[in-house]
Amino acid sequence: MNVIRSLVIAFSTYSRIPMPPVEWSDENRRYAMCFFPMIGVVIGLLAWGWLALSDTLNLNAVLRGAVGALLPLLVTGGIHMDGFMDTCDALGSHQPRERKLEILKDSHAGAFAVMGCMGYLLVLAGLFAELPLRSAPLLVGVFALSRALSALALVCFPSARPGGMLDGFARAAHRRRVSLAAWSYIALSALLWIAAGGLTQGAVALAAAGLCFAYYHGMSERQFGGVTGDLAGWFVQVTELALVAVVALGGRLS
């Protein structure tokens, strides 16, 4: 039953998909991050369905791209975009580490957050508008992999803010099983890309994800002294944008 409660906590925390209430305890959160990538699977399937519907109805590229870019926000409630925006403000401030951590906790959105969000959604909408339907199945791997890597970072990277929500998940997590689950999602995403997109596109996507992961590790330790929930949200958004770009441009070049 703890496994089911962990699944419910993962979906109720990181999505707006209705879930029954469960007790927020360390025991119930133990395997929550094992199910985090499944939210990405839901997003990928919805995005695939939207692209198929857009082509069936012959919708224009602007509407196709705009709804595609908004789908992840609708499913997640914007929790990762909130972290992305806070991180944009913190990085844009060029302040010392402690001040950057304070900016992450500030609920107000600054100029860098607004510009970052607008630019992100414009680029993502443009990529969705260019994404051919034959490449849409690869999106399932995109949104699952970004979350699998985020879960892996949670149990591998140091925390910059003891007592924060991300640190709470890290302390409660069964690290071995979360790591095993994360690597399983990574392997399945790679197999999906290779099967549906070819060996070259699969290799490029994995390389792009690996570069994002390496940059996240270096940036978080250098700028903040470790990871936080906001930085994790930033990483999910950046990785998804990079991988959608690989899928969209790779589909055009193939």
Q: pTM for the whole thing?
A: 0.92
Please state the φ and ψ torsions of residue 78, each to the nearest 5 degrees: 80, 15
pLDDT tens for 100-153 read: 888 888 788 889 999 999 999 999 999 999 999 999 999 999 999 999 999 999
**CA–CA dist 47, 70 (Å, integer):** 10
Domain ranges of the chain: 2-253
pLDDT tens for 21-33 read: 888 787 878 888 8
Give the three-class secondary structure for 159: strand
pLDDT tens for 185-209 read: 999 999 999 988 888 888 999 999 9
pLDDT tens for 68-102 read: 999 999 999 999 999 999 999 999 988 888 888 88
